[in-house]
Amino acid sequence: MLVAETAPEFQSEQPLGKAVRRLRGFRTSFEEQVKSISTRTGLVYEVKSDRLTAAFLGWLEAFEAQKPAQDADNEAYVGFAAGLMLRSLIAHDPARATVIPKDVNADDPITFWPEGYLYVAYCLNIRGCVLEQEFHTPQHQADVLGDVKTWWSFRENVQEDPSLAIAFLDLFSGEQPDWHMPALFTSQRYQALTRKTFDQLGNRTSDN
């Protein structure tokens, strides 16, 4: 079973992108995600309130620090911000799976890493909902999302470098990951400029 199927109905009076920037909205949506996975799989999580709050505060600080100045970058920043959220959740690790049903498939990522699965599910679902609500852009998913070998690599790598969670979330959502500097948001304008420069350099090389 893949992560996207666990998208709950996030209850929010205001747009989700705004709601999750407040602790109240973040916690409510996270609890809805926990409930949704538990209902579907029978898995039970225990969530530590203080760690969840610390994860939120850590995320908010990182989110504010690189918020783009130009509107053109807002859509790309949604994906980046979701990656920052995943990094903070993994770092503070607020959830603990206390009951794992016996009939689940051993090759399913949820069995391999139930807590990581919850964090990825939450971040992908928030990312998808915000992209849909604010930019009418559907979220895609890569096949590797259900591949337990990718999850091995994911778990091992984020333990060494938590910022790689940002790149892995890009990978899971079918985007091009930045494995070298995943924690640095690159504006669309800068990316276009870089592409143009490389193209021009390439043309010159081929002319010679």
**Nearest residue (CB) to another protein, 61 versus 156:** 61
Shortest gap between Cβ of 87 and another protein (angstroms)? 17
C-alpha span between 89 and 96 (Å, rounded) = 12
Binding site for another protein (CB under 8 A): 13, 22-24, 27, 49-50, 52-54, 57, 60
C-alpha span between 198 and 38 (Å, rounded) = 48
Shortest gap between Cβ of 135 and another protein (angstroms)? 25
**Nearest residue (CB) to another protein, 50 versus 207:** 50
Shortest gap between Cβ of 26 and another protein (angstroms)? 10
Look at residues 154, 121, 134, 116 and name the one whose alpha carbon lies nearest to residue 78. 134
**Nearest residue (CB) to another protein, 13 versus 71:** 13
| Residue 20: both structure tokens together | 């999750």
Shortest gap between Cβ of 57 and another protein (angstroms)? 5
- Please provide the size of the chain in residues: 208
**Nearest residue (CB) to another protein, 51 versus 155:** 51
